[in-house]
Amino acid sequence: MTRLHIDWTLCDGRGLCTELLEEMLAEDDWGFPLARDGSAEPAVPAPLENAAAHAVSRCPMLALRLVGRTS
């Protein structure tokens, strides 16, 4: 299962990911991405894999990664 990893030390809350991947991510009170499923490293459903890869490539802070691990 592919998961979306957010490096919080890099994330600046620019908000591109929450626009490109709104099915998975909402904005929190301060504009930082918040996984809609409540998990720290949300699973990427197969239909959203392209959108997730797009969000990863567009993050201006390079704060997003797709990872393969299960936890």
**What does the binding site for other proteins look like in residue numbers (CB under 8 A)?**
5-13, 28-32, 34, 38-40, 65, 67
Residue with tokens 């409540």: 38
Cβ at position 33, least distance to other proteins in Å: 9
Contacts of 28 by beta carbon, 8 Å cutoff, 6+ apart: 34
- Of 21 and 32, the one with the shorter C-beta distance to other proteins is 32
Burial of 17 from C-beta contacts in 10 A (0-12 / 13-18 / 19+): buried
Q: Which is nearer to other proteins, 35 or 51 (CB)?
A: 35
Residue with smaller CB distance to other proteins, 37 or 46:
37
